[in-house]
Structure 1
Amino acid sequence: MELGTGTPSTASLLSRIADESEARNQLEVSEWRNIVTWADANTVDQPDDAATVRDGYLDTGVPIAGPGAPLVSEFALMELIAVLDRTPDGGRLYVGKILECAWRLPELYAAVLDGNLAPWRAMRIAELTHPLTQRAAAWVDHQLAIAVESVTWAQIDRLVAEAIARFDPGRAELERQRAADRRRFTISDVDEHGLVYVDALMDAADGHDLDQTITRRAHLLGQLGDTDSLDVRRSKAAGELARQDLSLDLIVSDPDTGEVIATSPGRRSVLNLHITDTTLTGDNPVGRCEETRGPVLASQIKEWLSLPGSTIIVRPVIDVADCTPVDSYEIPDRHRTRVQLRDHTCRFPSCTTPATRCDLDHAIEHSRGGPTCPCNLVPLCRRHHRAKTHSTWSYRVLRPGHYLWTAPTGARFLITPAGTDVIDPVDSPEPERP
C-alpha cells in the first residue's frame, strides 16, 4: 500500500534498505577477497626488517598481521592504501586485520566469506588476536567458530586471556610488568574555543594524590568566592597547579661541580595568528590561530595574554605565499613556518601527519637547480619521503599547495587543500600546469 502518489510504503522502504545493506556486505566481502589475492601477489619472503631488490628498488617486507602471516611489500602496500583512499596508518591496520583473518583465523575468515560473520566483528576479533602466538590464535579461532555470532565481547576478551595463559604463560607476567610503561599524560590540540582535553593513565597512588590536590584547590577557590561549578573549578585548579611550578625559576645543577645543567624559565607560549586590518581595528574581531586550526575571537586572545606569570610571543605571518629563495640547501625557519602553515599535513595521498612533524622535501632537487624557497618545498613525513626517494612514487607541484602524485603502477592522485582525489590514469587527462 502506498502512502501517497509516488511515495513508497514503509514496508517497501525497509525491503529496499535491507537489499542495499546486503549488497553493501557483499561488496565488502568481495574487497576482502581481492585484498587477500593482492597479498598473495605481493608477499616478500624474508625475515623481519630484511630488504630485497624489487623492480630495481630496495624494498622491505613489512609484518602487518600476527606471526605466521605473510610479509608484504612496503611500497606495494603504500599504493594499495592510497587506492583504498585510507590514511597510511588506518589503511595499514585495515589491511593487516584482513590478513590476520585470512592466514591466522581461517575458520572465522571462511565464516566471513560465507556470509555467516559480519566483517566488522571479524576485524575486531583480529585486533585482539594480533599479538598472540600462532598456536594461541588458532585455538581462539577454533573456539569462536562454534558460535561466534552469539559470543559477547567480554567472553572474547576472557577467551584471549585464557589463550595467553594456556600457550604463553610467561606473557601475562611480562604484560603486568610492562603495564607501567604505558602510563601517560597527554594534552590535545587546542579547539576552536581555546580549550584542550587532558587524558592520562597513571599509577593509582599518583592519580589519588592528584585528585586530592585538585579537589582541595577547587574547594578553596569556592571558599574564596569563585562561583563556577565544581567541575570548572577543578579545571582551574589543575591550571593553577601547573602555573605554580612554571612560575618558579628552576635550576638543575651538577652536584659535584655546581655547573648548571638545565633551567626552566617559566611559562612560554607561541601563537601563530592570521589576522587582517579589520581584526586590528575591531570591525571584524575574528582571526585564525594555527594552534586551534580555526577562528579565534579577540576576547579569547586577550584572556590568554592576561594570564599571570606568562610570557607570550605572538608571531604574525604576513603572507604564506611569499617566495623569496635562499642560496643554501638548509631551510631557514621563516620558510619552514610558511610551508607548514600553507600545507598543514604531509602531502602524500590521504596522509594526515602534521606538517610540523614532517621533513621538507625539495620538489626539484637542490643539486639539480631546485631553489630553497616555499614554492619548491613540500612537507613529507619520513615514511613517504622515503617512498618518494627510494621507489618509483613521484610527484610534481602544479602550484603551491597543489600536487600531482603518480604511483608505481601509474595511478595518479591530486592533492589540494580540499583533500585527495583519485584520478583515472587512462581516462582522465593530466591537469595542465597553471
Structure 2
Amino acid sequence: MFDSDVAELDATGVLTSAAAHRAEIDRLEARLLVHAQVFADLHSADGLPTAGGEGRPGWERGVVYGGAGCPAIAEFAPAEFGAMIGTSAGSAAAYIGQALALRHRLPRIWATVLNGEATPWKACKVATACLDLSEEAAAIVDEQVAGLVDTVTPIRLGKIVTAARYRADQDAARTAAEQKARERGVYVGRADDHGTKSVWILAATGDVLRFDATIDALAEALKTLGDPDPLRLRRARALGILADPAHAQAILTAGRTGIVAQAAATASVTVSADSVTAAQPGSREQENAPRPEPPHLEPVPPETPPQQAASGPTVGTPAAATPVDADVEPWDTHAATEQTPVDDGLPTRQMVNADLANLDGITGSRTSRTTIYVHLTDHTLATGHGVARVEGAGPLLASQLTELIGHRPYSVRPVIDLNDTISVDAYEIPRRLREQLKLIHPVEQFPYGTAETTLATDLDHIQPYDPHGPPGQTSTTKLVPLRRFSHRVKTHGRWKVSRVTDGALEWTSPHGFTFDVDHTGTHRTDSHQQRM
C-alpha cells in the first residue's frame, strides 16, 4: 500500500517523510482548486437569468459564488462537482467560490499557492474572509497578505486579514460591525456522541450577565438542596431547569430556605442535614483549582443557500474539519473553579431528583410541550438496555433517556413501525405520511445531502404524479425528502432518480455518474469508479 515501511524509519526519517507527504497533499489540493476553476469555466452562466432577476420559478440561474469580479456560473453545477468529491452541494458551491476568488480577486495569493509557498486551505480562508469586499479592497488585502499566508499561525493570519480588510474598506467594516450586532441570537449546536449539546448565545452584555447570574443562583440552590455535582455540572443542569420559569422560581425559593416547598395538601419534604453542604451566596470552593479549557462551541446557524455558502470551510482540507471560530466563553472563571464533587453517592442524587420532581409538581403544568422521537429496537424497549437514537440528539444509551425527559410529566405516543407502508391516492401529503417519511429518512436523500428532514421539508414524487394514474401514487416508497435546492436540481437540473429498493435510490448526474443513497449514506456506483 505504501512505497516504504514507515515503521523502519527513525525519528528523523519519520519527520522528513511526514513533511514530504504534507507537501504532496498541498500540491494535490492546489490541483483540486484548479479543477474547480475549470469546471466553473465549463459551466458559465451564459443565457441564464441572474439570481434575483427575472426567470421561471425554480429554474436554474446564474450565480456569482466568489464575490465581486468573479464570473457567474450555472447555479446547479456545484451539485455534481460536490457529489464527485464526496461533499454536499452547498460545500461544493463554497469551494468553487473560493477557487474563483483566488484566481480573480487574490492573484498574488493564488500565485503563492501554485508555487507551493502557501497552503491551499489557508488561502481559501483568506478568500472567504474577503468575500464581501469590493474588487479594489480585495486587491489591497491581496497585496498585504500574500507573503504571510504560510509564515504565521492561522489565528494570527485571521487577525492580519481582518486588519487589512478594515484598512481597505472602512465603510464596509462599519457596515459589518452593524450587521454583527443584528446577528444576536441563541443557537443550538450539534449533539455529540454522549447526549450533550452546546448552546451559542450572542446577546447584549447586560442580558448575558443577568442570565449568567440566574444560572449561578440556580446552581447554588441545587447545591443547597443537596446536589453533589461540581459547580460547572450544576450550571449545566440549571439550563434545563430554566426552561420552565415557574419550576426555576420554586427551586430558587427552596434554595434560599434550604427546605423543599410543600403543597397545601401534602407534608413537607426536607433534605437530610448530612446530605446538604450549604454554601453562602457567591462563595466559591477551591478558588485556586486549575481552570479547564472551555469546550469549542460549534454554532449551527440556519442553513445557507448555496449561492451564499462561500463562507463555508474548504472542501477536502484540514479546514473542513475545523469548527467555526466563536469568541464565546461557555462559563466564566468563577464557574470553572469548583471541580470536585461534594458527594458522589447515588442516594443523595436520587433524593435531590425526587425533591425536584416534587417541586415541579407544585408549580403546575408547563407552558409548552416538546415532542421527542426515539428510535429503538424491540429488545431495548423490553429490557431498558441498549442504544437508542434520539432525533436532534443522536445516539444515546437507554439509561440516558431519563436525563433527556427529566422529571416533568410526559406522555408516550404509540410506537410508529417504520416498516409500515402508508399511501394515499391524492397528490397532497397528509401529516401522518410526512411524519413517517421524516422518521424513515432523517436526512434528505440527495447525494451527500446534509439537511435534516423536518415536517416542512419538500417531499417530491420520485416519478411525476399522474392525476389520471393508478391509486397509491403518494406513499412512503414513492416520495423522497429533499431540501428546496436539491428539489430544484432534481426537477430542472437534468438529474435522474429511480427507486432501487424500498430503502435505496439511484441518482444519475447530468454527466452520467451514478450514486446510490440509502440509510448508510451515499455510494458511487458507476463504471468510471470501477475503472479507477
Query: What is the 5 A alignment of 1:59-208?
Result: 59-151=60-152, 153=154, 156-157=157-158, 159-188=160-189, 193-208=194-209
Aligned length: 404
Counterpart in 2 of 1:268? 369
Is 1:49 aligned to residue 149 of structure 2? no
Instruction: Please give the alpha-carbon distance, in whole angstroms, between the structure 2 residues aligned to 1:158 and 1:291.
Output: 35
SS in 2 for 1:398: strand
- Whichever residue aligns with residue 113 of structure 2, its letter is V
1:315–1:111: structure 2 CA closer, same or farther, 3 Å change rule? Answer: same
Is 1:294 aligned to residue 395 of structure 2? yes
Instruction: Please give the alpha-carbon distance, in whole angstroms, between the structure 1 residues aligned to 2:530 and 2:407.
Output: 55
Is 1:239 aligned to residue 240 of structure 2? yes
1:81–1:193: structure 2 CA closer, same or farther, 3 Å change rule? Answer: closer
Counterpart in 1 of 2:222? 221
Counterpart in 2 of 1:325? 423
Deviations 1:87-141 (A, max 9, x none): 2222222221111111100111111111111112211111211111110100111
Q: Are 2:70 and 2:101, in contact at CA under 8 Å, matched by a contact in 1?
A: yes
1:324–1:227: structure 2 CA closer, same or farther, 3 Å change rule? Answer: closer
Task: Structure 2: state its 5+ residue gaps.
Answer: 250-364
Counterpart in 1 of 2:492? 390
- Whichever residue aligns with residue 300 of structure 1, its letter is Q
Deviation of 1:165 (Å):
4.3
Counterpart in 1 of 2:211? 210
1:97–1:245: structure 2 CA closer, same or farther, 3 Å change rule? Answer: farther
SS in 1 for 2:124: helix
State TM-score, norm by structure 2.
0.69
Match among 397, 417, 434 for residue 336 of structure 1: 434
Counterpart in 1 of 2:310? none
Deviations 1:174-198 (A, max 9, x none): 2232222111112345555443322
Instruction: Please give the alpha-carbon distance, in whole angstroms, between the structure 2 residues aligned to 1:16 and 1:167.
Output: 41
Deviation of 1:167 (Å):
4.3
- Whichever residue aligns with residue 407 of structure 2, its letter is L
SS in 1 for 2:369: strand
- Whichever residue aligns with residue 90 of structure 2, its letter is D
Counterpart in 2 of 1:9? 9
Counterpart in 1 of 2:30? 29
Deviation of 1:399 (Å):
1.3
Q: Are 2:374 and 2:390, in contact at CA under 8 Å, matched by a contact in 1?
A: yes
Instruction: Please give the alpha-carbon distance, in whole angstroms, between the structure 1 residues aligned to 2:238 and 2:168.
Output: 48
Counterpart in 2 of 1:414? 516
Counterpart in 2 of 1:380? 482
Instruction: Please give the alpha-carbon distance, in whole angstroms, between the structure 2 residues aligned to 1:76 and 1:285.
Output: 44
Deviation of 1:265 (Å):
6.0
Instruction: Please give the alpha-carbon distance, in whole angstroms, between the structure 2 residues aligned to 1:271 and 1:76.
Output: 37
- Whichever residue aligns with residue 473 of structure 2, its letter is P
SS in 2 for 1:267: coil
Normalized per residue, the structure richer in strand is 1
State TM-score, norm by structure 1.
0.83
SS in 1 for 2:371: strand
Instruction: Please give the alpha-carbon distance, in whole angstroms, between the structure 2 residues aligned to 1:266 and 1:342.
Output: 30
Deviations 1:129-182 (A, max 9, x none): 111111010011112224443345566445544544444332233223222211
Instruction: Please give the alpha-carbon distance, in whole angstroms, between the structure 1 residues aligned to 2:195 and 2:529.
Output: 47
Q: Percent identity?
A: 32
Q: Which has the higher contact order (CA 8 A, sep 6+)?
A: 2
Task: Structure 1: state its 5+ residue gaps.
Answer: 249-263, 430-434
Instruction: Please give the alpha-carbon distance, in whole angstroms, between the structure 1 residues aligned to 2:201 and 2:401.
Output: 27
Is 1:315 aligned to residue 417 of structure 2? no
Instruction: Please give the alpha-carbon distance, in whole angstroms, between the structure 2 residues aligned to 1:15 and 1:158.
Output: 31
Q: Are 1:214 and 1:234, in contact at CA under 8 Å, matched by a contact in 2?
A: yes
Mean alpha-carbon deviation: is it higher for 270-279 or for 178-187? 270-279
